[in-house]
Amino acid sequence: MQCSRRYNHEQKRLHNAITRNEDFFVRNHGGIPEIDEAAYYLDIGGLVNRPQRFTLCDLKDEKKFPRMTQTVTLQCSGTRRLEQINTYPGDGDGDELINAPWGEGAIGNAVWTGVSLKKVIKYCGNLSPGAKHLEFFGADTYFKKGKVMNYAVSIPWRKVRIGEVMLAWAMNGKPLPRIHGAPLRVVVFGYIGARSVKWVTRIDARAEEFPRPVQRHEYLYYTMQQSKYNSTFSAGHSIQDMPVSSALLYPLSQAVVIHDGALHCGGWAYSGGGHWPVRVEVSVDGGSVWYQTPWDRMSNKGFYSWRTWEASVPCDAEGWIEVCVRCWDDANNTQPTFQRSAWNWDLHVTSSCHRVNIFSINRSKPDTKRRLEAMETAGEDVHNLTRPLGVKPETDEQWLEVKKRMGAREPDDDIVSGTDFEG
């Protein structure tokens, strides 16, 4: 294996907890629909007392609806799925292995602007008796398992009632990009990203959970005893609130890192359902000893948003080491220590401690410092582990000098101390 991933240890920093629109992850089940904003409308129907049709101008009319702005993290339940794929393969909803073999990047934090869905439902005369769920229909269509369908899911009415669902038309102070759901999308705070439907065209109130496959058959969390040989849809737990999780964004896995006895790390931490990270801890020995990230090296708290963090962690060891991170939220929830503990047949919610293997070069050690200086003088690539050295590690004279101090390799049979074999 050639290992040549360079890592700028001193210059890496996390500056902003807000994800730029162009950097926000994209996960669609179908193509991006073309919608004329001027002709767009949203229908509210089903078990509401006064079904209504709203244009985008209606929803933006502050005489009807007060405007709402909220920082919210959206996370795909397949974030870090690649770790499960590589170690313990599973099903992944059938198409997830092909379309969403996610690493640590299937998560983003943005400032959304729109109107509370609770206010819109109130404008429609509130719900009729028996209504307990709201289903969202997107304009995007996709083909799966022999059928063409629109993307559609539902959430419980209680989530809307407490003001944790928004109809958003702006993202980070700019018009919502088409690829992120323009002209209007749903943003469900603290829930799996799959419930925040893009290009929403209809919302219906109903008595029961949405019956279609994306709700009943997908985004399920199974016990470790479930697999393709015995699993049933009813045995899966439907994912809603996202669990506490975190990830290392640097150093990168397989990186060669030169440091002076402290390893600089950074990443994100998140907990769904209105919880927030209060403590992030990093270990450089695979999880035996943990160091807490300083509170002033974490971004601000938010009810529905992640926190970015950075820390300089003591690291004496050299060679291959395993760096891992875990998060604790305000309810003292934390992550499973090992990936195996969180494995599930559908490969969702990889919430175990995130781990990366790096090659540690500790420049604070005199011998290592001298070697690095010699390699740099000779123009050697210090980040390529598998490239043979162009110069000898030491001269024959140096070797002889060290061996004289160490003594011969074999014991001297003529010298026996502490034992008297005579008499």
CA angle 279/347/322 to nearest 5° reads: 50
The 8-class DSSP code of residue 255 comes to: B
Residue 2, pLDDT score: 38
Residue 94, pLDDT score: 55
Strand partners, 133: 156, 206
Question: Strands of 245-250's sheet, edge to edge?
Answer: 245-250, 262-270, 307-314
- Cβ pair 100, 81 in contact under 8 A: yes
Residue 408, pLDDT score: 80
Q: What is the pTM of this model?
A: 0.89
Residue 10, pLDDT score: 40
Distance, CA of 296 to CA of 253 (rounded, Å) = 26
Residue 5, pLDDT score: 45
Q: Which two tokens stand for residue 258?
A: 């030169």
Where would I find the beta strands (DSSP E) of 124-179? Answer: 133-144, 147-156, 165-171, 174-175
Per-residue pLDDT of 237-269, as tens digits, reads 999 999 999 999 999 999 999 999 999 999 999
For the chain (length 423 residues), average pLDDT per consecutive 10? 42 68 92 93 97 97 96 95 87 63 92 98 96 96 82 96 98 97 98 97 95 86 90 91 96 95 97 96 97 95 96 96 98 94 90 96 95 89 86 86 86 63 55
Domains of the chain: 21-238 (3.90.420.10), 245-362 (2.60.40.650), 366-404 (no CATH)
Who's near 300: CB < 8 A, 6+ residues apart? Answer: 17, 307
Alpha helices in 335-422 (DSSP H): 366-377, 396-406
Neighbours of 67 (CB within 10 A): 13
Distance, CA of 190 to CA of 339 (rounded, Å) = 23
Nearest of 281, 273, 353, 361 to residue 313 by alpha carbon: 281
Residue 4, pLDDT score: 39
Q: How many residues does the chain have?
A: 423
Distance, CA of 189 to CA of 158 (rounded, Å) = 13
Burial profile 271-296: b = 16 or more Cβ within 10 angstroms, e = fewer: bbbebbbbbbbbbbeebeebbebeee
Report the sign of the C-alpha dihedral through residues 205, 236, 199, 191, in that order. positive
